[in-house]
Amino acid sequence: MSDCVTHSAPEPVFAEPWHAQVFALTVHLNETGRFAWPDWAERFSATLKRHGLSRELDGGDDYFYAWLETLEAVLDEDGGALRGEVSPVKDAWEEAYLTTPHGAPVSLGR
Amino acid sequence: MRRMPHDDHDHPHALLPPEPALRVKALETILTRKGLIDPAALDELIDTYENRIGPKNGARVVARAWTDPEFKAALLADATPVVADLGYYGRQGEHMVVVENTPEQHNMVVCTLCSCYPWPLLGIPPGWYKSDAYRARAVREPRKVLADFGVTLPKGTSVRVWDSTAEVRYLVLPMRPDGTEGLSEDELAELVTRDSMIGTGLAGGPS
């Protein structure tokens, strides 16, 4: 369990910006009353369990992948962001990054 | 066809974030357009958890409990209102329970469900707390896990493992180190590590 013996190294609160963003998005949606936290924890736990069947999760990127997958499923079910809506917007962001000059702020056309 | 981020160092365009980051941005964009979220609130939350909430909060609570018997009694009886009075409020509505280490019993916290953790007192959990390895082994073989963390307990000390949930989050009140009688509350707080409040370390030990 090498993960547990390397704990003395200083670590950032969030290893990646998107970890922070998906965390904050979920907490904000809970605070605005979109779902109760225990319900969220139950869903998230089920996703972790499913992912953990095929490999051992290390609590880093894989943890937040499971988190994101859960949030996408919850929002698809409650209509907040349907899968059919998400895909083109994601593609639009990708296109925006690839067509924005390096160093300039990236934004969607509309 | 999806274009992949490239490895060269001459970027004619903005660096493409990783795929999950684009998925998160897409969710944010849609929810913002629908008026379901306030993007400024997201920035505020990230700033709070990155800069203002962390183990220092818990350390202050522990140091106070070491120096103020009445505070300690109230904390052990019902921690949630006591820490709320200090401004450490569970935003997800959870109850916080403080469990005290003694020479007879060492306490250790895990969340086998996902990674429930006393955010207001400790901030965001470290990666190892969220790992399958810790979540499984903390329950099955806590003494071995403690050994991995460099903690060896006297033979007579039992280990109790507390499983946090979305509703109840545990914080360990570590034992006050010997020889600290003359220290102020602030100095004592410096001895209280994050791991000592999860139970995978001891106060005053290696951080």
Q: Which of A54-63, B119-128, B132-141 has the lowest mean pLDDT?
A: A54-63
Q: Which whole number is the average pLDDT over B8-27?
A: 85
pLDDT value, residue B206: 44
Phi, psi angles (nearest 5°) of residue A24: -65, -40
Who's near A67: CB < 8 A, 6+ residues apart? A22, A23, A26, A44, A47
Q: How many CB pairs under 8 A join A and B?
A: 202
B189-205: pLDDT as tens digits: 999 999 999 999 999 95
Residue A89 included in any domain: yes
Who's near B120: CB < 8 A, 6+ residues apart? B53, B57, B83, B88, B89, B90, B91, B96
A70-94: pLDDT as tens digits: 999 999 999 999 999 999 999 999 9
> For residue A12, what are its two tokens?
């950032």
Q: Report the sign of the C-alpha dihedral through residues A56, A59, A60, A63, in that order.
A: positive
Give residue A72's domain range.
Answer: 35-99
Residue A44 included in any domain: yes
pTM across the whole model: 0.85
Interchain contact, A41 vs B116, CB within 8 Å: yes
Interchain contact, A59 vs B131, CB within 8 Å: yes
Residue A52 included in any domain: yes
pLDDT exceeds cutoff 70 at A8: no
Q: What is the identity of the amino acid at B171?
A: L
| ipTM for the predicted complex | 0.89
Give the pairing of strands B168-173 and B158-163: unpaired
B148-199: pLDDT as tens digits: 999 999 999 999 999 998 889 999 999 999 999 999 999 999 999 999 999 9
Do residues B26 and A96 touch, judged by C-beta distance below 8 A?
no
User: How many residues are there in chain B?
Assistant: 207
* Overall domain count for chain A: 1
> Residues of B with catalytic annotation?
111, 114-116
| CA gap B174, B138 in Å, rounded | 18
